[in-house]
Amino acid sequence: ALRPREASEKTLTTILWGSSTLGAVVGGIAGSASPTTPGRATYVGSLATWSWAVTALTSGALALDTPEGDDTVTLGTAIGLNAGAAIGMFTASEVSPSAGRVLFLDLGGIAGGLTLALLSVAGGAEPKGALLLTAAGISGGYGLSWYWTRNMARDLPFHERAAPPHTVTRFGVMPAHGGASLG
């Protein structure tokens, strides 16, 4: 049931679809205006996903016993998702990770989150503590993966890649014992 101070379903639907459409248009323009690679695109998605997860878990833990907990979590996750996407868009060309590196970063986030989530449950942590530990595990796993993969090859657009060494191939007719040959 909607509380009197909340927006109507029609208003919320309009905001949701309007902001999604605006985001798609802005993302399309930004993507076509700047050179991108598969690694850069997955990097932006990865940062958006993991910042969303960490802020969802953190805001969920902080708002667990409050009357407006659902609003707090919704706002926190929206901020986290958009902040992660914005940071990814502004840093993708500088970092320029390969898609493989981004997969390792994602695996680090998964492994860190699962490890601390399972340890917190096995240790009998309260829900608030388990949520915060899981968020810390995701952050730590992603951070360690970032460090461990820092020397992986960068994924550069074609116009930024080094040109291959210039080679010249020449064909000609040369005298040879017993007749002519191509060399």
Query: Helix (H, G, I), strand (E, B), or coil: what is residue 70?
Result: helix
- pLDDT per residue over 68-100, tens digit each? 878 888 888 889 998 999 999 889 888 989 999
Distance CA 119, CA 111 (A): 12
Residue 173 main-chain phi, psi, to 5 deg: -105, 130
Instruction: Please give the residue that has the higher pLDDT: either 54 or 154.
Output: 54
Give the bridge partners for 36, in sequence order.
none
Instruction: Please give the residue that has the higher pLDDT: either 76 or 109.
Output: 109
- pLDDT per residue over 145-182, tens digit each? 999 999 998 887 766 666 666 666 676 666 666 655 55
Provide the pLDDT confidence category of residue 2 given band limits of 50, 70 and 90.
very low
Q: What local confidence, expressed as pLDDT, does residue 47 receive? A: 95
